[in-house]
């Protein structure tokens, strides 16, 4: 009886042991596969409408010219006759700690990796990815994204870098979080890291890169592109445009008549800092002074404005 009893215990233990081993094996594999990707299953992934509004379109921003059609004109990149010039592009973004944003970033990351398949173009156009992550999202990045401080100069190997987004920036824009995705470009870490690139492509975390980017930067598009392929998605009406021109005048700026730029910028590094600076300064003014029932001309609108006439949620795009 006692013998039988201990045998049962041994069987029971063996079965439990097998279950534990099997479970751990599965878990271990999942850990490897999704290392650093500890997205909680408790929070459902959702894409908020505002993220969609602030996404995807890519106008070419050249301050001295007036619309997106300039893409088909000769580039400012020096074209050398002796050997093909390598073009260095940095795709830059900030990443909040929201689960849905981290999930979206993984698509961007994989699309960036996909570019590496397009040899020889991918050797001619070297695309780095630079992420300013709001903690704790830095821990959830792919392990291949190394600290930005490791970067010494632009080189021939496409690399993903990360830098912790300063908590002060997050605090400063706690009433309008989207602006952190622009303000990070004013940090000395960003300016130092990007100075040597030919181009900066500033994107939101829900962007996806296509190999067409390589073809475009190599000036090998077989035919002229349409402006609509570069954004220009309207986020306002005539009322909005007139209002923005008037605000520009009031603040002492020259409005260049360029509207509907959307959130993706393809610019040189110096311009990226200038535009980010203007966007945060003017954005702060708009958030502080251009919404509310006390503001002349929009007395009848709610405090958040009214889409698409005048809408607080797209201030960083104005």
Ligand X SMILES: *[C@@H]1O[C@H](CO)[C@@H](O)[C@H](O)[C@H]1NC(C)=O
Considering the complex, state which of residue 229 and residue 277 has its C-beta at the smaller distance from ligand X: 277
Q: Within positions 293 to 312, which residues make up the interface with ligand X, using CB under 6 A?
A: none
Question: How far apart are CB 120 and ligand X at their closest, in Å?
Answer: 37
Position among 103, 277, 284, 295 found at the interface with ligand X (CB under 6 A): 277
Question: How far apart are CB 203 and ligand X at their closest, in Å?
Answer: 20
**Tokens 């459902």, residue?**
44
Site track 236-275 with ligand X (rule: CB under 6 A), x = hit: -------------------------------------x--
Hey, is 309 helix, strand or coil? coil
Q: Distance from CA of residue 171 to its chain's centroid? A: 19
The tokens for 309 are: 């006439």
Q: Which of 177, 123, 128 minimizes the C-alpha distance to 151?
A: 128
Considering the complex, state which of residue 244 and residue 282 has its C-beta at the smaller distance from ligand X: 282
Q: Within positions 86 to 145, which residues make up the interface with ligand X, using CB under 6 A?
A: none
Considering the complex, state which of residue 67 and residue 277 has its C-beta at the smaller distance from ligand X: 277
Mutual angle of helices 238-251 and 269-289, in 10-degree steps? 100
Considering the complex, state which of residue 103 and residue 186 has its C-beta at the smaller distance from ligand X: 186
| Strand 125-133, strand 310-311: pairing | unpaired
DSSP tag of 86: P
If one counts every other C-beta atom within 10 angstroms of the C-beta of residue 221, the result is: 14
Considering the complex, state which of residue 268 and residue 277 has its C-beta at the smaller distance from ligand X: 277
Question: How far apart are CB 252 and ligand X at their closest, in Å?
Answer: 11
Considering the complex, state which of residue 105 and residue 190 has its C-beta at the smaller distance from ligand X: 190
Considering the complex, state which of residue 55 and residue 315 has its C-beta at the smaller distance from ligand X: 315
The length of the chain in residues reads: 318
Question: How far apart are CB 283 and ligand X at their closest, in Å?
Answer: 13
Residues 132, 93: contact at Cβ < 8 Å? yes
Closest residue by beta carbon to ligand X: 277
Question: How far apart are CB 277 and ligand X at their closest, in Å?
Answer: 4
Question: How far apart are CB 144 and ligand X at their closest, in Å?
Answer: 30
Considering the complex, state which of residue 85 and residue 277 has its C-beta at the smaller distance from ligand X: 277
If one counts every other C-beta atom within 10 angstroms of the C-beta of residue 32, the result is: 8
The tokens for 219 are: 């000036």
Output the CA angle 109-115-118, nearest 5 degrees. 165
Q: How many residues bind ligand X (CB under 6 A)?
A: 3
CA distance 108 to 150: 22
Question: How far apart are CB 152 and ligand X at their closest, in Å?
Answer: 23
Question: How far apart are CB 89 and ligand X at their closest, in Å?
Answer: 22
Q: b/e per residue, 252-279, with b = 16+ CB within 10 A?
A: eeeeeeebbbbbbbbbbbebbbebbeeb
Position among 186, 215, 218, 287 found at the interface with ligand X (CB under 6 A): 186
Helices (H), strands (E): how many in the chain? 10, 8
Binding residues (CB under 6 A) for ligand X: these are 186, 273, 277
């Amino acid at each position: 009886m006692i013998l039988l009893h201990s045998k049962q215990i041994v069987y029971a233990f063996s079965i439990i042991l097998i279950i534990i081993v099997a479970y751990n094996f599965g878990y271990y594999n999942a850990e490897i596969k999704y290392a650093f990707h500890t997205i909680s299953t408790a929070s459902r992934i959702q894409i908020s409408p505002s993220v969609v509004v602030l996404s995807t379109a890519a106008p070419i921003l050249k301050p001295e010219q007036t619309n997106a059609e300039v893409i088909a004109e000769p580039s400012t990149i020096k074209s050398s006759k002796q050997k093909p010039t390598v073009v260095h592009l940095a795709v830059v973004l900030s990443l909040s700690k929201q689960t849905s944003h981290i999930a979206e970033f993984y698509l961007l990351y994989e699309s960036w990796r996909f570019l590496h398949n397009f040899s020889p173009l991918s050797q001619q156009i070297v695309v780095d990815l630079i992420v300013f992550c709001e903690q704790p999202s830095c821990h959830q990045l792919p392990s291949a994204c190394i600290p930005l401080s490791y970067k010494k100069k632009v080189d021939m190997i496409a690399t993903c870098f990360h830098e912790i987004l300063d908590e002060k920036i997050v605090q400063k824009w706690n009433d309008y979080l989207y602006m952190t995705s622009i303000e990070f470009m004013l940090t000395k870490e960003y300016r130092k890291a990007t100075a040597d690139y030919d181009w900066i492509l500033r994107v939101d975390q829900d962007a996806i890169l296509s190999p067409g980017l390589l073809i475009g930067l190599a000036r090998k598009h077989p035919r002229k592109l349409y402006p609509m392929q570069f954004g220009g998605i309207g986020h306002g009406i005539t009322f909005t445009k007139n209002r923005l021109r008037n605000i520009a005048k009031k603040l002492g700026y020259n409005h260049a008549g360029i509207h509907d730029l959307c959130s993706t910028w393809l610019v040189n590094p110096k311009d990226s800092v200038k535009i980010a600076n203007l966007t945060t300064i003017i954005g702060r003014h708009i958030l502080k002074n251009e919404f509310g029932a006390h503001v002349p001309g929009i007395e009848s609108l709610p405090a958040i404005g009214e889409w698409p006439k005048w809408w607080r949620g797209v201030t960083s795009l104005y």
